[in-house]
A = this chain, B = another copy of it.
Amino acid sequence: MIRSSVPANGSSSQKKIRGIQNGWFTEAATMWPGQRFSLALKNYDEANSILYHKRSEFQEILIFQSAQYGKVFAIDGILQLTERDVFTFHEMMAHVPLCSHRNPERVLIVGGGDGAILREVCRHPEVTHITLVEIDPMVIEASKECLKIVPPETWYDPRLEIVHQDAAEYVEDPTNHNRFDVILADTLDPLGPAESLFEPEFYEAMHAALRPNGIVCTQGESTWIHLDLVRDLVSCCADIFDTSEYATTSIPSYPCGQIGFILARKGDGSNTRTRGCSVPVRTPAFQKDLKWYNSQMHRAAFVLPQYVKKELNAPDVNLSGRIRNVNDEEEDENGEEDDQCFLRGCTIQ
């Protein structure tokens, strides 16, 4: 996930690295005031633990070897992923939407230059084309050269096309409309340059870029910290898409240990009620290779704590739907109760 992207100041001093002091990396805390999470460098040794530290045109990129979390990737002092828990966010972000779509051929990844989402998408044999739009080539360079948490062959998957462009511009380009079955938007937090990615216009553009029955899955923030924003995003998507839902997962290295996803589906233009994403329609053939996702985790991710459910005016999730094969077409029009939109009204703040 790319959670912040404040332009770097141009200094390239190795001596002062944002967030690192006395053998510890401490995350900057502008969006989650009053709390800090710190990770120890391996052997408390800055000289050998810093694996990559460069400033690109866009941001400060840091990779270090931690004592307990493996390699750690940070941008502008904000934790992006660690080897220890990378699989929770990235497996859920990829497999929940992909296993909710009957035939996801064309996938767009917004951001995600670290390759972690890409690795998960590549597992799906149904996917024939993958477009990765990453504005900063240095993120991919750092991942290939140093982070290496994804197998090198991932970058050479013949289905992959890499585009270095602003994702909002790419999605808004009419030549990319009606083109994708699934869009995975591994977006920044809504501060600074990423603010536009939390505006209705971006969601409208993603809606236009989807084919009928297409699904968008975006980084959905933490209900512990930004419940108002989550509510407004779910509401905004309910206005634009046929379905709009919030799913949650656990991840130790993100603030409060919790992050969510907004999942929204475009209809097919008919009067048939569109299914939400809380019940998978396929089971992954590669389940044995996964560490976090399974079909039960998929369904349980949509179950929300009482205070969140109330705030989002979310319906009860139907946990009883059995997993259906992609060939179970006869059941296509049997919508579940959980297919209803959450809210109406669009008031992003």
Residues of B within 8 A of A68 (CB): 33-35
**Separation of A305 and B291 alpha carbons in the complex (Å):** 7
The answer to whether the Cβ of A131 comes within 8 Å of any Cβ in the partner chain is no
The answer to whether the Cβ of A180 comes within 8 Å of any Cβ in the partner chain is no
Residues of B within 8 A of A248 (CB): 250
Residues of B within 8 A of A287 (CB): 306
Checking B35, B40, B297 against A34 with a beta-carbon cut-off of 8 angstroms, the contacting residue is: B40
- Interface stretch, picked from A148-156, A192-200, A314-322, A324-332, is A314-322
Interface residues of A in 18-54 (CB under 8 A from B): 24, 26, 33-40
**Separation of A309 and B37 alpha carbons in the complex (Å):** 28
- Assess A34 versus B296: contact at CB under 8 Å? Given A85-B224, A257-B256, A290-B306: no
Closest approach, in angstroms, between the C-beta of A177 and any C-beta of chain B?
37
Interface residues of A in 285-343 (CB under 8 A from B): 287, 290-294, 296-297, 299-300, 303-307, 309, 316-317, 319-320
Can you report 9 A-B residue pairs in the complex whose CB atoms are below 8 A from each other?
A35-B39, A36-B37, A36-B38, A252-B257, A291-B307, A293-B305, A296-B317, A297-B306, A320-B320
**Separation of A37 and B26 alpha carbons in the complex (Å):** 10
A69 touches B35 (CB 8 A): yes
A293 touches B320 (CB 8 A): no
The answer to whether the Cβ of A103 comes within 8 Å of any Cβ in the partner chain is no
The answer to whether the Cβ of A140 comes within 8 Å of any Cβ in the partner chain is no
**Separation of A296 and B303 alpha carbons in the complex (Å):** 6
